[in-house]
A and B are shown apart, each in its own frame.
Chain A
Amino acid sequence: MTTTAVPAVPARVRAVPPVSRRPGLPGALRSELIKIRSVRSTYWTLLAQALASIAWAVLFCAGTVSHWATESPQDQAQFNAAHASLMGQVALGELIIVVLGALVITSEYSTGMIRTSLAVMPRRGVLYAAKAIVFAGVTLTISLITSFVAFFVGQAILASKHINTTLAQPGVLRAVLLSAAVVTVFGLFAYGTGALIRHTAGAITTILGVIFLIPVLAQALPSSWYQDIVRWLPGGQALSPIASSAPPLASDHLFSAWGQFAVFSGYAVILLALGAWSFIRRDA
């Protein structure tokens, strides 16, 4: 053991003012907002999500208008104007948002930034929550704008055949709002998965496999089996009540819009919890 005397050193002038409260969620939120705003992948994915959702609304509604005269009376009766303009966001926009949801956390691991982030904010639960809140807030904001734009653009096109609807009609506002919310819920599902898997490519492949491939493959099952499980699947047909103002065609085996939303939210909560466990407990 060494007992070398340390020479007395004059007190240093502090270059940084002290804090009266222990750094926690407010600072972490400000930090994460700067992080998400200062990388290009955020802008690309959010823009792609908005464009894909609106383009789908335009194409689908324009197609409906051009075929309207030749549609059967049953098809015309079952047509849902809200669904025609919103399904693009729910089915396609969602697939793009999950990429951003995974990236906000896997990019920290792939770049090594996580070690720096945890060295300045060792309260891991706080950091995990701050990232999720900022991602969800940004995504919900952009998704709501997208949802309303897609709705109004779609309705403007449908108006030429007088088959459009308005926000005042029953269930329409709910469909517009839930379409944005469900995209955010799937984004959080991806965030939790990203925290669990930590590798960008691995996480995105897994997420797309679960929310895209599984619902498609399930349709190959005998129809009685498929009808038993369809409402529990994390995508596919189970998404359509969300975008519709009234229960869609052949929806006997599905929950209501709120019911399906609850199912998807349940999956997101499970993955968020597993992700939190991994983020907090495992070595970084």
Chain B
Amino acid sequence: MIEARGLSKRYGDKVAVDELSFTVRPGRVTGFLGPNGAGKTTTMRMILGLDRPTAGSVTVNGKPFAELYSAMREVGALLDAKAVHGGRSAYNHLLCLAETNSIPRRRVDEVIGIVGLEDVAGKRSKGFSLGMSQRLGIAAALLGDPDVLMFDEPVNGLDPEGIRWIRLLMRSLAAEGRTVFVSSHLMSEMENTADHLIVIGRGKLIADCPMAEFTADGTSQAATVKSPDDQRLADVVTAAGGRLERGEADELTVRGLSAEQVGQLALTNGVLLHYLAPVRVSLEEAFMELTADSVEYQAKTGG
């Protein structure tokens, strides 16, 4: 369980995290989403006590991180896979971490097996691919067999097989009753992984809801229609608060109204429809819509 209350971090004038309050619960995968620069990493660093909050507080299992009895047995974290001394072998890296919390050596061998790094455990991690580094970072997080796991952008730079592996791992960790908190700037990565979402933008909380609720959000409704009387349909739909976009051929996309609402409007106003279908808004689109106003660095498209 991770609990943030009014958590804030300012660097000079710049607000990185702005009064965040949320609870990450055990037994499920909680996705931590936001565009790049939204404050996800800063939030995770504050959870781990690496950065001091400017205001507010965050606890893990009810205690500030620095006061945990045996940090590794309670929290395992992967912040940056390349944050290891490249001159040290994978085995020695894990061993030096394990020793701090009196974790037996056999557990080091065990986690090397879990992440499948047996063949390269004796090699210096300098030569590791990003995928191997991610596995080493995950092995380190698993060392203490902790109740709470945090992964910052764990699938960055991984091949599809690696992404699938991490996804299954996170699901099984949550199924064992652990708290799994995983950040990403890509909605698509969360689609089959997370049960719950916490979305932030510019350091502020935008959404904190179950995955299903996120996609069913009212702002994300849309339908595709075809009608011989485009103009009348446009008037009716606009009057009801929908927005029209011209699609391929004679298709129109209505945003802001569900297919049911569009059908009802057409019937009431006597507009003939040749085609009507709900648009399944992908998580990606819902996410983009929610965070559009809070993207830190936005590319301006010409035209």
Residues of A within 8 A of B (CB): 2, 4, 6-7, 9-10, 12, 14-19, 22-23, 27-28, 30-32, 34-35, 38-41, 107-108, 111-113, 115-124, 283-284
Contacts and interface: CB of A to CB of B under 8 A. Distances in A.
Given A12-B177, A34-B95, A112-B80, A2 B107 contact: no
Nearest to A28: B100
Contacts of A115: 45, 48, 50, 79-80, 83
A30 B28 CA distance: 36
Given A9-B175, A15-B145, A111-B85, A122 B68 contact: yes
Contact of B100 (A27, A107, A283, A284): A27
Contacts of B192: none
Contact of B89 (A15, A38, A108): A38
A38 B92 contact: yes
A6 B71 contact: no
Interface string B46-61: 0011111000000000
Nearest to A15: B145
Interface of B: 25-28, 45, 48-52, 65-66, 68-73, 75, 77, 79-80, 82-89, 92, 95-97, 99-104, 107, 110, 140, 143-145, 175-178, 196, 208-210
Given A27-B101, A38-B92, A16 B83 contact: no
6 contacts: A6-B28, A10-B177, A18-B73, A31-B99, A111-B84, A122-B68
Nearest to A14: B145
Nearest to B81: A112
Contacts of A9: 26-27, 175-177
Given A2-B209, A38-B96, A123 B66 contact: yes
Enumerate the 5 nearest inter-chain pairs by beta-carbon distance, A residue then B residue, closest first: A112-B83, A9-B177, A38-B92, A15-B145, A31-B99
B80 A34 contact: no
A41 B87 contact: yes
A19 B71 contact: no
B85 A22 contact: no
A265 to B, nearest CB: 29
A105 B189 CA distance: 36
A283 B143 CA distance: 25
A31 B83 contact: no
Contacts of A120: 71-72, 97, 100-101, 144
Nearest to A5: B27
A17 to B, nearest CB: 7
Contacts of A27: 99-102
Contact of B50 (A4, A107, A283): A283
A10 B85 CA distance: 38
A38 B96 CA distance: 9
B157 to A, nearest CB: 16
A209 B177 CA distance: 56
Give the dominant DSSP class at B's interface. loop
Contacts of B92: 34-35, 38
B100 A6 contact: no
B101 A283 contact: no
Contact of A7 (B27, B103, B104, B145): B27
A118 B97 CA distance: 10
A118 B50 contact: yes
A16 B145 contact: yes
Contacts of B68: 122
Given A31-B100, A119-B48, A283-B50, A2 B196 contact: yes
A23 B100 contact: yes
A4 B100 CA distance: 37
A17 B104 contact: yes
Contacts of A17: 104
Contact of A16 (B28, B51, B144, B196): B144
Contacts of A23: 70-72, 100-102
B46 to A, nearest CB: 9
Contacts of A40: 87
Nearest to A6: B27
B145 A118 contact: no
A284 B65 CA distance: 14
Nearest to B95: A34
A119 B50 contact: yes
Contact of A283 (B52, B83, B87): B52
A4 to B, nearest CB: 6
B96 A31 contact: yes
Given A2-B196, A9-B27, A119 B145 contact: no
A185 to B, nearest CB: 26
A39 B99 CA distance: 17
Nearest to A34: B96
A38 to B, nearest CB: 4
Given A16-B145, A27-B101, A119 B75 contact: yes
Contacts of B75: 119
B26 A112 contact: no
Contacts of B103: 16
Contact of B51 (A41, A113, A124, A283): A283
Contacts of B84: 111-113, 116
Given A15-B110, A16-B144, A121-B71, A116 B51 contact: no
Nearest to B125: A111
